[in-house]
Amino acid sequence: MGKTVLIVDDSNTMRKIVSRSLRQAGIDFDQILEAADGQEALDVLGANKVDVVLSDINMPNMTGLEFLKAKAEDDAIKDIPVVMISTETGADIIDEAKSYGAKGAIKKPFTPDLINETLGPLL
């Protein structure tokens, strides 16, 4: 059965770039779902089987960190791996994200190779 990725970013441009970079990295997803903030991401996870999430941190409505916290409290989705993909990659923020269950972090700007290195072991 094919795999599904959820890309969470308030920027439509960045969601397209991440989607393109996944293809360039040679990571073949059957389905690419999108959400514009953390709340939308929770809604998508509640309605779809998702194998991995790539999430921005700075987003309106519900941030990436708030999304991680809410996801960790929901038994149905808490084990879905999340990789943060953000301009915010200071040690304190990444430590906080990992304390809420994030499996890794990719700094914008990024290359397809970096996405492959980070995401590959989770699939």
Partner 1 sequence: MKYAQDIANATQEIFSSMIMLDVVPGEPFQRDGTKLLNGISGIIGLAGEVKGLLSIHLPNKASLDITTAFLGMDVEEVDEDVCDAVGELANMLGGSIKTILDPSGSKVQISMPSAIHGEEYAVDCLTDSESVAVPFTFNDQTFTVELQIGPKSL
Alpha-carbon span 34 to 73, nearest angstrom = 22
Which tokens belong to 7? 């890309």
Smallest distance from partner 1 to CB 58, Å? 6
Quick note: the x/- pattern for partner 1 over 19-48, rule CB under 8 A, is -x----------------------------
Smallest distance from partner 1 to CB 20, Å? 7
Q: Which stretch binds partner 1 (CB under 8 A): 29-37, 65-73, 74-82, 90-98?
A: 90-98
Torsion angle in degrees (nearest 10) through CA of 47, 48, 51, 53:
-50
State which of residues 4, 17, 51, 72 lies at the interface with partner 1 (CB under 8 A): 17
CB count, 10 Å around CB of 61? 12
